[in-house]
Amino acid sequence: MIKLWGRNTSSNVMKVIWLLEELGLPYTRVDVGGAFGGTATPDYRAMQPLGLVPAIEDGDFTLFESNTILRYICNAHAPSTPLYPTEPKARARVEAWMDFQQTAINRPMSTVFLGLVRTPPEKRDTAAIAAAAKDAAGLWAILDGRLARHAYAAGDSLTLADMALGIYVHRWFVMDVPGRPEAPNLRAWYQRLLARPAFAKHLAVPPS
């Protein structure tokens, strides 16, 4: 059985929870990271050398990096799932949007989230939050344009790309983001994600 290490308030842990639930795979989860601590021990660092969450154990195999974990779980436990198509072009399209999450939108969304949720109002750098919100809005606009033509991030069905991005779109709409523009296709996609029971239960929670 897969053992998932990481607190369930972490965006990167949430995406793994969503996949495990969506596939109906049995798993256990251990609270580490944040206020729980437990990520500096030699045993944990052997699984996740940076001391971040998530990490997984699958038998004697351990793995870190959330998007790699998503791909591994599909490859090892659900090789024919449409969440991670095997046809090369379809698979590459999924991976490109997963990379978009890690390499493009992660940075401004982290600044907005940490500023608005984890920083008390009197200590907030409002200029930095506004600048990051503007950057994030520009990136969400790219996805909004794509979602005008497709129901999901990588095409016409739910894939790992939606799982990588989903928690961020939830936070984008529930946080009090300064200057957040309308993005009707993005909002419609968010509604489609909310209709998934695992997303509604484990990701659509108040940001904390």
Kindly list the residues in this chain that would bind ligand GSH in the complex (CB under 6 A). 10-12, 33-34, 39, 52-54, 65-67
Pairing state of beta strands 27-30 and 2-5?
A: parallel
Alpha carbons 127 and 124: distance in angstroms, whole number: 9
Nearer residue to ligand GSH within complex by CB, 55 or 147: 55
Please report how close the Cβ of residue 4 comes to ligand GSH at its closest, in angstroms.
12
Nearer residue to ligand GSH within complex by CB, 11 or 159: 11
Only one residue has tokens 């009090």, namely 176
Please report how close the Cβ of residue 168 comes to ligand GSH at its closest, in angstroms.
11
Alpha carbons 202 and 132: distance in angstroms, whole number: 26
Contact between residue 62 and residue 69 where contact means Cβ atoms under 8 Å apart: no
Please report how close the Cβ of residue 151 comes to ligand GSH at its closest, in angstroms.
25
* DSSP-based three-state secondary structure for 59: coil
| Closest C-alpha to 132, from 112, 116, 114, 102 | 112
| Closest C-alpha to 92, from 167, 160, 190 | 160
**What's CA 105's distance to the chain center, in Å?**
11
Nearer residue to ligand GSH within complex by CB, 44 or 190: 44
Alpha carbons 25 and 83: distance in angstroms, whole number: 14
Nearer residue to ligand GSH within complex by CB, 53 or 94: 53
Please report how close the Cβ of residue 20 comes to ligand GSH at its closest, in angstroms.
15
Please report how close the Cβ of residue 170 comes to ligand GSH at its closest, in angstroms.
14
Nearer residue to ligand GSH within complex by CB, 56 or 183: 56
Peptide bond into 108 cis (omega under 30): no
